Amino acid sequence: MVGTPQVSKIRILSMSVALLMLAAATYIVFSFQTGVSRMRGEMESTRIAILKSEHECPKGAVESVERWGQWGYSRFCLKDGKENGKWVGWEKQHKVIEGNYRQGKKHGLWTWFDDEGRVTRTIQYVDGVDIGETTPSSKK
């Protein structure tokens, strides 16, 4: 039995909508997979960059590299289970923060950097206590 023209138009319209939805879903999945691949590539490039950077630990401390933040890695020194010595955080293949720990507490000058490597902020710590922040002036 042949359907009425009205029913045929509705079926064609329904199939067209279904095909458009399938195409949209395919595009979303492809875009997501492409984004994940780019993110993994960026993270791997950052990991390689941080490992190529110079980093020394105090005597008796061991070096560690771990995932840090959403996209980056940190590189630091551990002694007796506590952070001790230089600590750096990297994202997008460049250093974004650098400082030191002493027996598990921030100690000394901590510096933040922008994407171009310019200092954006510094904080001085003594045994984990923030004793003062400075932000570089934009005036010359």
Q: What share of the chain is helix, strand, coil (3-state, %, to 5)?
A: 35, 40, 25
The larger pLDDT score, comparing residue 114 to residue 25, is at 114
Question: Which of 110, 115, 111, 118 lies closest to 138, judged by CA?
Answer: 118
Overall pTM > 0.95: no
Task: State pLDDT tens for residues 18-56.
Answer: 777 777 667 666 666 666 677 778 888 888 888 898 899
**What SS3 state is found at 110?**
strand
| Mean pLDDT (the chain, rounded) | 85
